[in-house]
Amino acid sequence: MKKKNIIQAMHFSLSISMFISVPLLAVEVHGVLGSASATTTIDGKQIPAPDPEFGGVIKQDALKSKAWWAPRVTPPNDAPNVLLIITDDAGFGVPSTFGGVIPTPSLDRVANDGLRYNNIHSTALCSPTRAALITGRNHHSVGFGVISEQATGFPGYNSIIPKEKATIGRILLDNGYATSWFGKDHNTPSFAASMAGPFDQWPTGLGFEYFYGFVGGDANQWQPNLFRNTTQIYPFKGKPEWNLVTGMADDAIAYLKQLNQTMPDKRFFVKYAPGATHAPHHPTKEWVKKISDMHLFDKGWNKLREEIFENQKKLGVIPKDTQIEPWPTEVIPNWDDLTADAKKLYIRQAEIFAAYAAYNDYEIGRVIQAIDDMGKLDNTLIIYINGDNGTSAEGGPLGTPNEVAFFNGINKMPVETQMKWYDVWGTEETYNHMSAGWSWAFDTPFTWFKQNASKLGGIRQNMAISWPARIKDKGGLREQFAHVNDIVPTILEATGIPAPEMVDGIKQEPMEGTSLVYTFDKENAKAPSRHTTQYFEMMGQWALYHEGWLLSTKVNRAPWEAYGAANPDPLNNQVLELYNLNEDFSQSKNIAAEHPEKVKELKKLFIEEAKKYQVFPMDASVATRLVMPRPNITAGRTEFVYTEPMVGLPQGDSPSLLNTSYTITADIEVPKGGAEGMILASGGRFAGYGFYLLNGKPVFLWNLVNLERIKWEGKEALTPGKHIVEFDFKYDGLGAGTLAFNNMSGLGRSGTGTLKVDGKVVDTKKMEKTLPMILQWDESFDIGSDTLTGVNDADYKPPFPLTAKLNKVTIKVDRPKLSPDDIKKLETAKRNNASSE
């Protein structure tokens, strides 16, 4: 080799070594370095990797110079594509793959091509599980001790994923993957979900180049609050049969096809997180008919539970000696004790839920088939997790046509009331949820539900993993203890990409999960679990798994019991139970009395884990955290002025008119011929308020969870010209300040509303009760029109644009202030409550 070429080669080698921080032989380089087609892997210790030193030659003129391109970063040559699927609110007994009666052929396909896992765990709630899933850390470690809408100002609960704990999206992106996220987010703080940003906690700011989905915890599947990246979109407009379950599958397939067509060799990482089967349960008519025709639920929930349990034993997905506990008649009645109307309603509820689950699995199958059609299935790692927690019981013992009612304390809507929606259950006219009786059955063989972190019914999921190029034990069962925080380490080991030490110059904290790749090999089918210790905590209920033992708190709150004073000492004011899961798969035999020293030992270990992972201060409050102050764009403000039409401001970033006095003043000009339309609206069909002109007359309306509407209305249409229209509300309660004393007495109280036109009172009336917690949180705050659903279908249909000229809308909020006497009484009540515990 000529001396010049040797020097040049050494220069290339030096440049690429600086680029990847490892010797040249330790990386995969394809093509000629410096050429436009050259690629390389990186060591991944630092992302983004530093730019390499220029390796060409620069003279005074281009003809005597040599161009040089930095190599494009790619994953290791044998790294797989990754499709990570997680469904919502589905317990162990839901899918047919694990003994359920609901057909899930797509999950069957993954399981039959790969492995079934019957011992993987969630955190018992949506946002927390998803935060652990994408970071490889425990949920409190990344700020998600609860859902983002309940965030509080403590590190373990602020709903902000720290910069020192980068997501799998970010890691794979900087290692050459195309990264995308479809469906549910719920890891963006509710106070950072508006167009004002910041967007660093949106999927696009967390390492996912493309996002198509919704930001909050749930979504109307017919008319979702939907985003592409950070821009709101309305693909359902003019399409009454459109449904998000199909819509997101279509978008994911289009994305994958375009990527494949544009750059066939680029590896992809897709997080696919449909809203199903979280409420509202919104399947298409086609799927409702398919499931209804199967008559799966006609015998009721007791028999369903028995059927699922026998199926599970026959399939071998639970041990043959698994015990099942008696039906919990103290919580949910036996099926045979129900009235005929109740049975009719509940069967309908279950059929809609099942149709939603089956429909969702079918659409997931379309995405998998699209990958197969591209010829990429063999080298695609598919991780399909059934549920981010146990089946939800937030519909209460009776179910509900409107989940927003539950969040406002209405958790036992009578059957006769619900029957008004029987024929439209699951359509756009309901925000429906099923009875907890079905939820108990769908968590078979375990007990309790979503939210219950101390019982396996709340935290035990199931999962299937396939990777044909690597996993050869097709249809095998894996029983090692695992947690959703194991998924990121698993993906990293499978791709050959290490966890970075630095991201954007910020030192990274270690992963807290354990890779499951060792379970891929048949010879390790019965290997001991490498994940030996795991804590669980959700809203004051907690547990600790350690080497087969499970210490757990006795359930002291059903999920629908979200109101009232919270347990003031959730660490110690508990009944502790102990289980040996090596011998008791279903957590059915409490042996705490026989092993007091083990109880003491495991509680001490729980405290150590809780300190390590930011679980403290432990908080047993539930619904009240929905109205706690957060650093949103309205924090500290008492006046809001709008001079232009605006739509899409999320509830978490809009002025809250709950539990307070307020005045809304609209300065408008009515044209000749009169005007109509929405001045201001917040929420929608299932809870909210609107200030509008109807047939020229001013109207202010409160929609109380679609059960009652309180309307103030002018008697005469506004004449052409300028008018000041005002709605003033005087609240009678003490407001959210009572929550600081573990007291809810300040919420949801009465108040008097007065409607004025040009200073003259035109209507006044008292509201005997007000919404204490939330409006419909997947709807927005709009000025000048009303997006998605309307607050009163009898009056108008969205968007109902305002035809008057809008000069200005002003909202003034006057929040109650506690007097010294109020504080004294609340402190006394708090002491009395604590002493009675």
* pLDDT (average), residues 440-445: 98
Instruction: Give the start-end residues of each E strand in 296-455.
Output: 380-386
E strand or H helix that includes residue 828: helix 820-836
DSSP for 638-660, please give it. -EEEE-S-EEEEEGGGS---TTS
Sign of CA dihedral 313, 315, 318, 320: positive
In this prediction, residue 626 has a pLDDT band, given cuts at 50, 70 and 90, of: confident
pLDDT for res 21:
34
Integer Cα distance of 588 and 301 in angstroms: 20
In this prediction, residue 63 has a pLDDT band, given cuts at 50, 70 and 90, of: very high
Integer Cα distance of 587 and 455 in angstroms: 8
Query: For 503-531, what is each residue's pLDDT tens digit?
Result: 999 999 999 999 999 999 999 999 999 99
pLDDT for res 22:
34
SS3 97: helix
* pLDDT (average), residues 400-407: 94
Q: Which two tokens stand for residue 58?
A: 């620069």
689 HSE (CA, 13 A, CB side) = 21
CA dihedral 286, 288, 291, 293 (to 10 degrees): -80
Give the helix ranges, DSSP H, for 427-545.
436-442, 456-459, 487-495
| Averaged pLDDT score across all residues of the chain | 94
pLDDT for res 4:
34
pLDDT for res 834:
66
Bridge partners (DSSP) of residue 233 are 226
pLDDT for res 777:
86
* pLDDT (average), residues 223-236: 97
For residue 634, the 8-state DSSP code is: T
Query: For 282-341, what is each residue's pLDDT tens digit?
Result: 999 999 999 999 999 999 999 999 999 999 999 999 999 999 999 999 999 999 999 999
Asked if residue 734 has pLDDT above 90, the reply is yes
Query: For 97-133, what is each residue's pLDDT tens digit?
Result: 999 999 999 999 999 999 999 999 999 999 999 999 9
Integer Cα distance of 556 and 476 in angstroms: 38
SS3 606: helix
Asked if residue 495 has pLDDT above 70, the reply is yes
Asked if residue 25 has pLDDT above 80, the reply is no
In this prediction, residue 13 has a pLDDT band, given cuts at 50, 70 and 90, of: very low
Q: Report which of residues 407 and 791 the model is more confident about.
A: 791
Amino acid at 651: Q
CA angle 15, 20, 22 (to 5 degrees): 95
E strand or H helix that includes residue 342: helix 340-373
Largest CA distance in the chain: 97
* pLDDT (average), residues 188-213: 95
Integer Cα distance of 303 and 9 in angstroms: 74
Q: How far is CA 793 from CA 423, 656, 709, 712, 790, in A?
A: 18, 23, 11, 16, 6
* pLDDT (average), residues 37-61: 95
* Phi, psi (deg, nearest 5) at residue 809: -120, 130
Query: Count of residues for the chain?
Result: 837
Give the strand pairing for 178-184 and 210-214: parallel
pLDDT for res 632:
82
| pLDDT-above-70 percentage for the chain | 96
For residue 742, the 8-state DSSP code is: T
Pick from 328, 309, 354: nearest CA to 447:
328
Q: Which two tokens stand for residue 154?
A: 């403590």
pLDDT for res 836:
62
Asked if residue 693 has pLDDT above 70, the reply is yes
What long-range pairs does 262-265 form, CB within 8 A, spacing at least 24?
A: 263/178
The single residue listed with the structure tokens 């705490």 is 592
* pLDDT (average), residues 662-673: 98
Sign of CA dihedral 149, 150, 153, 154: negative
Cis-peptide, bond into residue 401, ω within 30° of zero? no
SS3 154: coil
Is 652 in contact with 195 (CB distance < 8 Å)? no
Bridge partners (DSSP) of residue 639 are 812
pLDDT for res 26:
65
In this prediction, residue 614 has a pLDDT band, given cuts at 50, 70 and 90, of: very high
Is 23 in contact with 37 (CB distance < 8 Å)? no
pLDDT for res 507:
98
In this prediction, residue 801 has a pLDDT band, given cuts at 50, 70 and 90, of: very high
* pLDDT (average), residues 33-59: 94
Asked if residue 822 has pLDDT above 60, the reply is yes
Pick from 425, 589, 499: nearest CA to 44:
499
pLDDT for res 239:
96
Is 89 in contact with 450 (CB distance < 8 Å)? yes
Give the helix ranges, DSSP H, for 483-532.
487-495
Q: Which two tokens stand for residue 40?
A: 């390389």
Integer Cα distance of 679 and 198 in angstroms: 28
The span from the first CA to the last CA of the chain, in angstroms, equals 86
- Say how many C-beta atoms besides its own lie within 10 A of residue 39's C-beta: 17
Query: For 240-279, what is each residue's pLDDT tens digit?
Result: 999 999 999 999 999 999 999 999 999 999 999 999 999 9
